[in-house]
Structure 1
């Protein structure tokens, strides 16, 4: 992007969250290392059902290494059931998430080892879902196991017809240059209301 294109991006796109998200989506952007979304589930049966398990059905490959855009700051916590999945593990079960100085992280044990979620007919439950990887680029769907009056069944949840996607940071060429694995990089200066976006040299940005 040229300087004028970056200035237009900062003024007309970045400060409008819906427009910014649409801009990223249209260019195939993928969150780096960790991302969250919300899922609202509704019981459509005539009898109560229990959600007994969640897992990620995934396909993973090498981390992406194209163009890096400095991500925006994360928002605050939401009052939902908060579950995260570590896509670097073999089973990729959903765990309870917690906050630390780095943000949201999965806690370790499976949430559903100790809990189930009961839904009465027509009742809804919203989950904040996090996905994390330090090793791969992954696409995945959320598989939800439910039991009612009969045997357990499952349903796969995706993102508007496509898989959810996330990537680990590109593998660095120089450990002292965290962006050195990328072909191109862009970062911002200033506050959110008046940001200035600049092109970065991936091989010069230090830790």
Structure 2
């Protein structure tokens, strides 16, 4: 009987290296883009200090070249001039998850530092009402400006706050998942510099995240100085009763002057403007 013994062929099998655990750098939620949103009705702006007619003539040229008053380019020209939006300021923010597990957004707050309304230069863009479409709003005149739902009822000039937004809404972002939100800050009583604070749950633990960061410029918005006796009127009525004497210089939208209706800004003294009777 012939017996055969077969020696098994043995090779040195090297197992593949383990998949490395991804390392995430930076915040749990990336703020990938922030875009200012042009307003629909109110194109008023405020400057911290005075300006002069020659500077405004140059500004008008820049606004016209950028698309006109109320356009995105026109708004950019106003910001580059140093102006601050009046009453409302809206940004569209793109967020992206930056952790292996889901990151939950449970609330957003506005962290604001407010003082007296600006009183340098008033550019009156003649509001015809408040913002038409506002989904998430922050009342910077309140002590704790949390994200609120906003609604605008028939016949009302301004949207109203209608309760905490995140009472009914929660968002979870997985790694690389994106979310776009529009955030509107409103200030009637003062000038506010502010940032938004995300309240998050990351790996089961609560944490917060601020944007813009403290090393970056904050967002800004300012209310108006209102004529004495009109302070307690509804917001839109207050905006129609501005105390022009509190400003060092006042300019009106060209639509106030029949001879220059397409000019972005003209001195209020040269227009049929509500400030004229106040000596503005």
**Please, what TM-score do these two structures have when normalized by structure 1?**
0.80
The 4+ residue runs of structure 1 with deviation greater than 3 A are 6-14, 16-19, 71-78, 171-177
* Counterpart position of 1:133: 187
TM-fit CA distance, 1:156? 0.4
What is the rounded CA distance, in whole Å, between the counterparts of 1:177 and 1:204 in structure 2? 12
* Counterpart position of 1:161: 216
**Is the alpha carbon distance of 1:85 and 1:184 closer, same or farther for their aligned partners in structure 2, counting shifts above 3 Å?**
same
| Contact 1:173 1:181 (8 Å CA) reproduced | no
* Counterpart position of 1:121: 175
* Counterpart position of 2:109: 55
Alignment of 1:200 with 2:268, yes or no, is yes
* Counterpart position of 1:94: 147
TM-fit CA distance, 1:121? 2.2
Aligned length: 200
**Is the alpha carbon distance of 1:174 and 1:68 closer, same or farther for their aligned partners in structure 2, counting shifts above 3 Å?**
farther
Alignment of 1:180 with 2:233, yes or no, is no
Q: Normalized per residue, which structure has more strand?
A: 1
TM-fit CA distance, 1:20? 2.5
| Contact 1:14 1:20 (8 Å CA) reproduced | yes
Which structure 1 segments of 5+ residues have no match?
none
What is the rounded CA distance, in whole Å, between the counterparts of 2:67 and 2:216 in structure 1? 26
What is the rounded CA distance, in whole Å, between the counterparts of 2:107 and 2:63 in structure 1? 42
TM-fit CA distance, 1:42? 0.7
TM-fit CA distance, 1:152? 1.1
Moved more, 84-93 or 143-152: 143-152
TM-fit CA distance, 1:69? 1.4
**Please, what TM-score do these two structures have when normalized by structure 2?**
0.61
| Contact 1:86 1:106 (8 Å CA) reproduced | no
Which structure 2 segments of 5+ residues have no match?
1-52, 231-239, 270-274
Moved more, 17-26 or 178-187: 17-26
| Contact 1:83 1:130 (8 Å CA) reproduced | yes
Secondary structure (helix, strand or coil) at the match of 2:205 reads coil
* Counterpart position of 2:76: 22
Moved more, 113-122 or 94-103: 94-103
Specify which structure has the bigger relative contact order, considering alpha-carbon pairs within 8 angstroms and separated by 6 or more residues: 1
| Contact 2:62 2:77 (8 Å CA) reproduced | no
Q: Decide which structure has the larger Cα Rg and report it.
A: 2
Secondary structure (helix, strand or coil) at the match of 1:58 reads strand
**Is the alpha carbon distance of 1:75 and 1:138 closer, same or farther for their aligned partners in structure 2, counting shifts above 3 Å?**
closer
In the TM superposition, what whole-angstrom CA distance separates every residue of 1:102-155 from its partner, at most 9, and x where no partner exists?
Answer: 35x352421122321122221111111011111111101000011132311111
Alignment of 1:72-87 (within 5 A): 77=133, 82-87=135-140
* Counterpart position of 2:42: none
What is the rounded CA distance, in whole Å, between the counterparts of 1:131 and 1:41 in structure 2? 18
TM-fit CA distance, 1:168? 0.8
